[in-house]
Amino acid sequence: MPQLSSVKRFFIGEPLSTQNLHHERIPKWKALSTLSSDALSSVAYAADEILIVLMGFAAAATAYSLPIALGIVALLIILTASYFQTIEAYPSGGGAYTVAKENLGQTAGLVAGASLMIDYTLTVSVSVAAGVENIASAFPWLFAHKIILGILVVILIGVMNLRGIRESATVFAFPTYFFVLSVALMIVAGFYRAAQGLPAVQASPLMHAQYPVVPMILVLRAFASGCAALTGVEAISNGVQIFREPAARNAKITLVWMSIILGALFFGIVALAHMYRIVPSADQTVMSLLGRAVFGPSAAYYMVQISTALILFLAANTSYADFPRLASLLARDRYLPRQMASLGDRLVFSNGILGLSAAAIGLLVLFHGDTHQLIPLYAVGVFLSFTLSQLGMVKHHLKEREPGYVRSMIINGAGATTTAVVLLDIAWAKFGHGAWLVIVTIPAMVWVFRKIHAHYLAVGAQLSLVGVAPPQRSDRVKHTVVIPVSGIHRGVLEALRYAKSISDDVRACYVELDSGTTDRMREEWQRWAGDVPFVVLKSPYRSVIQPLISYVDDVEQATHDDVVTIVVPEFVTSKWWHTLLHNQTAFFIRAAFVFKRGKVVTSVRYHLKEI
């Protein structure tokens, strides 16, 4: 359909040749925005998650927010060192699926793959929901429309990614750096104002001589919630393939950049919130309250809010860079439908992008676009993939024993141990808040992967030529041709001419819905095609398809031919919308015989001139 193709070209762009694939790789400054926007954006809501848990006990408990933030930064350093090792060992892209599958076995790889797919889908949903909430903090009337706004943002980001990785990276780079600059300016200004004694309330000290007594379970739960700040750290090691050469070196440099920026922004926001005694409210995020406290209702405040919303929206772009690639790897290993491994017109995995968009929109609708309902589902899959990836690297170092493998093994072992402990903490602390859904979904996805794999193996075994001798000669297939007709027109005459050219046994069948029409049809048939037998099929319940199926089965039993060929005459309209004005009997006939052995359905099309 030319019209649909034109619309597609308008939104997606002209197709790119496969020879241009290497030109679609991107430099470090673009890759930082593409692969780090998820991690960087998490600072916009990680502080909220820590403070919400602590505030649930007592306002004084928020004093623990800073030690918790320091613990999360320490974990970030361990993860950065661990993924540095992963990039060195897997310079072509060492995602958790690849590392776990090659070193820990098929099941571990599938668990890692399922975890990452859930993580990437939730990244889109959480980021978009949080972005809408930050915009609505500045413009409260938008809260009532946050689901629709979220869906529109997902569609926009999906379309941009369908245009290609290089083009989307260029568009999305500037909002990322705008966010980093805006938040860095807010943190510097906030510390300066606190040092000058400018806040309206007395600043709280960063370090306390004494901390209130709170249950350790509360601290662990707050730490588990704050670990949302580390989601997306693995994205650079998963996406080494999109970097310009030398890809591995550029990926390692970008990983260090990302970790420094993430750690500084996250700790700065938590520290400022602690000093300014800020806690999130029902309609105001920590970022919004901090912006108002530091800048007041000025243009700078709106700059922070807009940049925060943009980076949260763009955090979804990290998933759009990594989810389709992961899906393509699973598809190549025959654990997902093969369509997921196909490159689209713009040299991106279009089916993966479309699937991710649909899943993210479904989550936004299901959880009403509420960030706090989505985040408990978030971190389980992330830290499970962290742990499996690092355990896989430990096994890799033991197998390869490359120079310096002991040091590398210690780094990855420390990463695996810490992430495993955090994983248990998150699963336990958030189980009742929705994490159970992810814990159930991961094994369900692994089961689906195995079923798909078993299907492909069974199909391959049945289609294999192993043990089959090449045919000495091609025997002609014996078949009877049945032509279903509803009237006599030029399209039917063309179908008859074709049928006679492939078989000496041609029969026409007509389903009787009106006896008066049947008599006229007999007369017309004798005039135009009297040499072809004309069979009338009774249909007391006015069904067209079922009498035809029964008649074809009777023909097969009577003739004992190799196949029965059903030649379907159909006319093709000059404009696509004209098709809506005609019934689709030909389509239903083809669908009816798809799963029937020994039946071949052929369409003979008669193209109408433009009206």
Give tens-digit pLDDT for 307-330.
887 887 777 777 887 888 888 889
Query: Is 225:333 a contact under the CB 8 Å cutoff?
Result: no
pTM of the predicted model as reported, rounded to 2 decimal places? 0.75
Number of H helices, E strands in the chain: 22, 5
> Does 296 share its domain with 425?
yes
**Does 230 or 473 have the greater pLDDT score?**
230
H or E segment and range at residue 335: none
| E-state strands within 382-505 | 479-485
> Does 192 share its domain with 158?
yes
**pLDDT confidence of residue 483:** 94
Phi, psi of 477 (to 5 degrees): -75, 130
Q: Which of 385, 419, 453 is the last residue of a domain?
A: 453
**pLDDT confidence of residue 449:** 95
Q: Which of 7-16, 477-486, 580-589 has the highest mean pLDDT?
A: 477-486
The answer to whether position 32 is within a domain reads no
Amino acid at 6: S
Q: Which of 418, 435, 453 is the last residue of a domain?
A: 453
> Does 562 share its domain with 439?
no
The answer to whether position 31 is within a domain reads no
Q: Residue 197 corresponds to which tokens in the numbers above?
A: 């004694």
> Does 426 share its domain with 570?
no
Taking CA atoms, 361 is separated from 117, 120, 129, 355, in Å, by 15, 13, 10, 10
Would the pLDDT of 277 be above 50? yes
**pLDDT confidence of residue 204:** 56
Number of domains observed in the structure of the chain: 2
* 511 closest CA partner among 486, 481, 533, 488: 486
For range 558-583, the mean pLDDT = 82
The answer to whether position 169 is within a domain reads yes
CATH number of the structural domain spanning residue 602: 3.40.50.620
Per-residue pLDDT tens over the stretch 196-213:
776 655 555 555 556 667
Phi, psi of 233 (to 5 degrees): -60, -30
> Does 442 share its domain with 589?
no
Can you tell me the distance from the alpha carbon of 260 to that of 312, in angstroms, rounded to the nearest whole number? 19
Helix, strand, coil share (%) of the chain residues, nearest 5:
70, 5, 25
The answer to whether position 401 is within a domain reads yes
**pLDDT confidence of residue 88:** 83
Can you tell me the distance from the alpha carbon of 290 to that of 284, in angstroms, rounded to the nearest whole number? 10
> Does 449 share its domain with 483?
no
**pLDDT confidence of residue 12:** 55
Query: Is 61:54 a contact under the CB 8 Å cutoff?
Result: yes
Can you tell me the distance from the alpha carbon of 315 to that of 132, in angstroms, rounded to the nearest whole number? 13
Domain membership of residue 596 as a residue range: 479-607
The answer to whether position 288 is within a domain reads yes
- The 3-state secondary structure of 116-142 reads HHHHHHHHHHHHHHHHHHHHHHHCHHH
